[in-house]
Structure 1
Amino acid sequence: MHFSNVLAISRTASKTEDFRALIVRTVPNDLKVDTCSYSQLIDHQEDHADYRAIIIEIDTPSASGQALDIIKKIRTKNPACLIVIFVTFASTQSKTKYYLAGADYCLKVTHTAPEEKFCLVDAFLNETYRLNYCKLILDQDRMCIFGNGEKLEISFVEMKVLEALIHSRLLSHDEIAGVMGLNTKFYDSRALEKSISRLRSKIKARYGENVIQNIRGYGYKLSRGIISANHLQPLQERAHRD
């Protein structure tokens, strides 16, 4: 993992040190990992804008509500940062509420063996780092995607879905149906899922990346930092690509 400026947040001051020790094992020796407890974050007004990655541990059911408030606060003040959630207690709760609050990834890590927990955290953070350094460009004018020196043509509907996800990052099944021009009350959910699956598979086959994530029971979200729309690119970059 090679994130710069990492903040590890846990419920109490003592918990933050344990959580930090777990994360530090996955990062280079010269990288500083700062820590903060829930109360410190809630009581202070810092926006933590310098952090590229903020990793939050939720270790009890009662901590979930506080964590949601923290996620919303961070996302409002630092819209570009990567927010990763680790749920470290046995829970059957849906991850959807964390994504709706603004989290980018949520991993349930309930293994009691320290090495098992470390392996899961290490693999997840390294994969997350790699994904967030693959830049793709959606060109709405040409209805295609550019990236890694390759071009992928897509349909008008696929382009509109990606455009909507880039704008909102998280859309429900009904919202996706509306973007696709379907009747939001009577559409075939299985057909919608197949359409999104085809688009996701098409992008992964060309670029090797899972750009669209399925949020079970809710809809779909876009992985932060992987793809952007061409109208957000500097004009000289677009001219060079032309």
Structure 2
Amino acid sequence: MSKVIIVEDDIELRDSLIDYLSECGHDVQGAGSAIEFYQTLAREDFDVVILDVNLPHYDGLSVAAHLSESNDAAIIVMTVQGAIEDRVRGYKAGADLYMVKPVDCEELAAAVLALAKKRRRSDRTPEPSSLSWRLNLSEFQLTAPSGRCVDLTRNEVRVMELIAAQAGAIVSRIELMQFIGKGVVDPDSRALDAAISRLRSKVQSECGMTLPLQTVQNAGFVFAGDIRSA
């Protein structure tokens, strides 16, 4: 039995695919948006991720690119966009298979089975601890799953402390600003966005990995990965 998640905002299509793949013997669940998927991924691992391209918050290709860097789940992109250039973008983003809607359920089930078997044969799942980001509060350091470290400023440590405490949940902008001690918060201020953008750039430059700290429009921020603090 393989663990599968279908990230699709069309509820009727998502439910029908869940039902079919479940009848084929897979453990299947669904998510209606990229953010919902990231929140689920912070708690669970999957053998196969089936992604629509047109999703709320983030498109499926950006999700595929993130997964290909940080996770070893097989990726099936499923979309109405069937032009050659669309397929090329999908494979470059990290898709193992690119399927054009409408998708035949039997073919999809066969693809899930084949990719899950290939993933198990590869036997390249790291220990859970090596998949985690690690925040050292006393040393002001963040360690990526690759093992490389980056030194943080005091405010960056405070940002990551709250994010780590609520990993997988959306942290509001106001809550984050108040936690790092900015007092009265101007909801229109872009200072926090600029600070987080600098943090992402620093982590990418020094660790060679993308910090999975996602901006949720009109809501706040969510950490789409496993992070542990000490």
Q: TM-score range by the shorter chain?
A: 0.5 to 0.7
The residue number in structure 1 matching 2:156 is: 158
- 1:80 is matched with 44
**Residues 200-230 of structure 1: CA deviation (Å, up to 9, x unaligned):** 11111101222122333332222314xx224
Residue 171 and residue 36 in structure 1: after superposition, are their counterparts in 2 closer, same or farther (change >3 A)? same
Which residue of 59, 79, 84 maps to 1:115? Answer: 84
Task: Report the TM-score when normalising by structure 1.
Answer: 0.51
Q: Distance in 1 between matches of 2:84 and 2:156?
A: 42
Q: Which residue is equivalent to 1:229?
A: 228
Partner of 2:190: helix, strand, or coil?
helix
| 1:189 aligned counterpart, secondary structure | coil
Alignment gaps of 5+ in structure 1: 17-34, 57-66, 99-103, 232-242
- Partner residue of 2:17? 37
Q: Does 1:167 align with 2:165?
A: yes
| Matched residue type, 2:162 | A
Which stretches in structure 2 are left out of the alignment for 5+ residues?
66-76, 97-127
Deviations 1:173-197 (A, max 9, x none): 2222122222354366211111111
Higher RCO, 1 or 2 (CA under 8 Å, sep at least 6)? 2
- Cα separation, 1, equivalents of 2:216 and 2:93: 17
Match of 1:95 in 2: 57
Identity %: 16
Aligned residue among 133, 137, 142 for 1:136: 133
RMSD: 4.8
Q: Secondary structure at the match of 2:182?
A: coil
Output the amino acid matched with 1:215.
Answer: V
Aligned length: 173
Instruction: Write the letter of the residue equivalent to 2:161.
Output: E
Q: How far apart in 2 are the matches of 1:12 and 1:179?
A: 37
1:186 match: 186
